[in-house]
Amino acid sequence: MNAIEILVAKTALKKMMEQGYFCICTIDKVLKITGGIPDPKDYQMLSALHCIHYKDMPPALLKELPNIIRRVVESPALDFYIDVSSGSNQLLTFREA
């Protein structure tokens, strides 16, 4: 992925996390950008969460969600986590490369 593609994918994922609910459509669009082929089981788990608000997810699921998303989009350039220690379950933070 080039620098602009990485910025677009990161921006889309960050917006998805900040909007308050999970959207599989964002994952689908990021997959088109990254060219990733997701693990079917991981993708189906994310698909089942479509339109579910983060506040309605159990803490264990919310903590694992970035790892599932990362496995599905399969791109080291999109290394991120959710900072649950700050009290906001919706803050997606990208690690610097």
* Residue 77 CA from chain centroid, whole number: 13
Q: How confident is the model at residue 17 (pLDDT cuts 50, 70, 90)?
A: confident
pLDDT computed for residue 66 by the predictor: 83
DSSP 58: -
Separation CA 34–CA 30 (nearest Å) = 6
Tell me how far CA of residue 92 lies from CA of 8, 20, 37, 39, 63, in angstroms: 15, 11, 23, 22, 11
Q: In the predicted model, is pLDDT for residue 20 greater than 50?
A: yes
Q: In the predicted model, is pLDDT for residue 80 greater than 60?
A: no
Q: What is the pLDDT of residues 25-75, one digit of tens each?
A: 999 999 998 888 888 999 999 999 999 999 999 999 988 998 898 888 876
pLDDT computed for residue 90 by the predictor: 45
- Its pTM stands at 0.77
